[in-house]
């Protein structure tokens, strides 16, 4: 299986801050990486697919980059509604795997 390692596991930030979350794959996955946002008690929501493509309706303050084994999700200016847990997910093969999650908390 391809293992996905996210860091940090949690981050404290203030409204307006720039936040960067990283995801590392245990082997190369080309650009087949997605990012999701999950708020408490809700289903996950797709933010980014194919490493850097913004899902329709997602604010442009979210961006993704990377290829191969190292990827990042950046929130350029954190908004109150962005406090949530973020997950990466690789789709290089049908053995799909998620990262462990990064909780973005209010500082």
User: Scanning residues 7 to 66, which ones bind another protein (CB under 8 A)?
Assistant: 32, 34, 36, 38, 43-46, 49-50, 53, 55
Sign for the CA dihedral angle at 93, 82, 76, 5 comes to: negative
CA distance 77 to 16: 4
> Can you tell me whether residue 72 is helix, strand or coil?
strand
Q: Does 97 bind another protein (CB under 8 A)?
A: yes
13, 95, 106, 107: which one contacts another protein (CB under 8 A)? 95
Q: Site for another protein (CB under 8 A): how many residues?
A: 24
Minimum separation from the CB atom of position 15 to another protein (A) = 25
64, 66, 89, 104: which one contacts another protein (CB under 8 A)? 89
CB atoms within 10 A of CB 82: 19
Q: Does 67 bind another protein (CB under 8 A)?
A: no
| CB-based contact 18:77 (threshold 8 Å) | yes
Q: Does 94 bind another protein (CB under 8 A)?
A: yes
Q: What residues contact 2, with CB distance under 8 A and at least 6 apart?
A: 25, 26, 27, 29, 90, 92, 93, 95, 97
Binding site for another protein (CB under 8 A): 1, 32, 34, 36, 38, 43-46, 49-50, 53, 55, 87, 89, 91, 94-101
């Amino acid at each position: 299986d391809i293992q996905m390692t996210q860091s940090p596991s949690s981050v404290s930030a203030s409204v307006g801050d720039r936040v960067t979350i990283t995801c590392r794959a245990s082997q190369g996955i080309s650009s087949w990486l997605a990012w999701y946002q999950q708020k408490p008690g809700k289903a996950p929501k797709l933010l980014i697919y194919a490493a850097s493509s913004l899902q329709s309706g997602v604010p442009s303050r979210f961006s993704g980059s990377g290829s191969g084994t190292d990827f990042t999700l950046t929130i350029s200016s954190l908004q109150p509604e962005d406090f949530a847990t973020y997950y990466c997910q690789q789709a290089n093969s049908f053995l799909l795997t998620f990262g462990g999650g990064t909780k973005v908390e209010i500082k």
